[in-house]
């Protein structure tokens, strides 16, 4: 499906190059600590996750795109970029029809999943127990970190809880003993039918979906999504069974009523941010809320 016709706006080189430079500076600031650690062979259990789980290098964040319908004047270098088209003698514009043609299946899948997730009612009863389910009765831990409650105490929390994970890419790391404890056994085929906006991992994935949509999405949304994913990862690990006090993170003890309430408050705020981003991405690619249902995952 092609998006609706867009008004074309021409932006002079002095303006768009300034935007691109500002974007680059912001991207460099967001990745500076990771790049310094990587140069020294050091790892951070929280902050480096986005670069290993998604496998996107910091350079991905530095490439600024104006989005659809923006002609960049005096942009000789971009006229040869993939999914850009020349305009006039020196201009360039994102070639969104060609992107949708060449990446049609990916485009429909991403847009369909974003729309389906945005339309659902958020669920806030998981309390971040997916990280606990990943170490339930485990012989070894996924992270080289101590457990706040020890192995036995961690297992007791899981055994006394109802697991309500809705995100397959978290569920697939559950231990074999934890899998049947989840409210529903998940599979990849049912992702688009189960993804919901209260899920922290679904919010973190908005970053991945924007990367996959490439030049169709304006650069500031990419960096906004990265910042959201970073903040989600922090809550994810603070609410996990791991002890991160040595790294400067105070725990969100979801094994207590107070901890559960705190988790849900922060989860709601992050969910609201993810919903705003989903709406902005859908609008940017030409599929606003209420569009026909012929774009499916």
- For residue range 168-214, what is the model confidence (pLDDT) as tens digits? 999 999 999 999 999 999 999 989 899 999 999 999 999 999 999 99
pLDDT of residue 143: 85
Whole-model pTM: value is 0.93
Within a domain: 290 = no
Within a domain: 37 = yes
Alpha-carbon dihedral sign for residues 15, 17, 21, 24: positive
Task: Tell the residue number behind the tokens 């606003």, with chain if given.
Answer: 288
pLDDT of residue 127: 97
Above pLDDT 70, what percent of the chain?
94
Within a domain: 21 = yes
208: its two tokens: 């991945």
Within a domain: 115 = yes
Q: Per the structure, how many domains does the chain have?
A: 1
pLDDT of residue 138: 93
pLDDT of residue 140: 84
pLDDT of residue 289: 58
All residue ranges of the chain with pLDDT < 70 are: 1-7, 288-297
Within a 10 A sphere around the Cβ of 287, how many other Cβ atoms?
Answer: 22
Contact indicator for 218, 67 with CB cutoff of 8 Å: yes
Domain that holds residue 88: 9-127+188-284
d(CA 291, CA 281): 14
Within a domain: 85 = yes
d(CA 187, CA 170): 11
Within a domain: 1 = no
Within a domain: 154 = no
Within a domain: 143 = no
């Amino acid at each position: 499906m092609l998006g609706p016709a867009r008004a074309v706006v021409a932006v002079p080189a002095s303006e768009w190059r300034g935007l691109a430079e500002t974007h680059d500076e912001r991207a460099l600031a967001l990745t500076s600590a990771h790049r310094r650690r990587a140069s020294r062979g050091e790892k951070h259990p929280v902050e480096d996750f986005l670069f290993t789980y998604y496998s996107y290098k910091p350079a991905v964040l530095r490439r600024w795109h104006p989005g659809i319908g923006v002609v960049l004047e005096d942009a000789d270098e971009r006229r040869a970029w993939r999914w850009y088209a020349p305009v006039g003698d020196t201009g360039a514009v994102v070639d969104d029809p060609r992107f949708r043609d060449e990446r049609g299946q990916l485009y429909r899948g991403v847009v369909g999943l974003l729309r389906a997730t945005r339309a659902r009612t958020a669920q806030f009863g998981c309390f971040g127990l997916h990280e606990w389910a990943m170490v339930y009765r485990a012989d070894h831990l996924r992270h080289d970190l101590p457990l706040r409650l020890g192995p036995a105490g961690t297992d007791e929390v899981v055994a006394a809880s109802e697991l309500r994970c809705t995100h397959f890419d978290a569920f697939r790391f559950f231990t074999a003993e934890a899998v049947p404890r989840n409210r529903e056994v998940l599979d990849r085929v049912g992702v688009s039918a189960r993804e919901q906006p209260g899920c922290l991992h679904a919010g973190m994935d908005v970053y991945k979906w924007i990367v996959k949509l490439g030049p169709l999405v304006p650069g500031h949304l990419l960096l906004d999504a990265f910042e959201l994913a970073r903040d989600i990862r922090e809550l994810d690990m603070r609410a996990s069974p791991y002890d991160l006090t040595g790294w400067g993170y105070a725990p969100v003890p979801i094994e207590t009523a107070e901890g559960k309430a705190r988790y849900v408050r922060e989860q709601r705020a992050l969910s609201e941010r993810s919903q705003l981003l989903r709406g902005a991405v859908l609008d940017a690619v030409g599929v606003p809320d209420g569009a026909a249902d012929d774009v499916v995952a």
